[in-house]
């Protein structure tokens, strides 16, 4: 596969955006877990594991909103 310079730059930009999004997601997990998981551990999660944790956090936020109980 051969790419021209513009295609390579676009690919690098896409990878950088994806990398930032993953880091953002993982750091949010660490914040929600209040130290219950380290960044080093969380960075090893698969995409499926990150999605499951994200779903759990969303469910807990919704439950807190509906119940009026504090989440934080």
Structural domain contains residue 72: no
Structural domain range at position 20: 5-67
Torsion of CA 57, 37, 30, 27, to 10 degrees: -120
30 within 8 A of 42, measured Cβ to Cβ: yes
- Tell me the average pLDDT across 33-49: 93
How many structural domains compose the chain? Answer: 1
pLDDT digits (tens, 9 = 90+) for 15-29: 999 999 999 999 999
Q: How far is CA 15 from the centre of its chain?
A: 15
Q: Is the dihedral of CA 47, 52, 57, 62 positive or negative?
A: positive
Predicted TM-score (pTM) of the model is 0.76
Structural domain contains residue 31: yes
């Amino acid at each position: 596969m051969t790419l021209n310079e513009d295609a390579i730059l676009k690919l690098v930009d896409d990878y950088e955006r994806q990398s930032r999004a993953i880091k953002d997601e993982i750091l949010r997990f660490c914040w929600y877990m209040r130290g219950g998981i380290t960044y080093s551990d969380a960075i090893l999660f698969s995409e499926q594991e990150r999605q499951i944790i994200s779903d759990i956090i969303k469910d807990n936020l919704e439950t807190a909103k509906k119940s009026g109980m504090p989440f934080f």
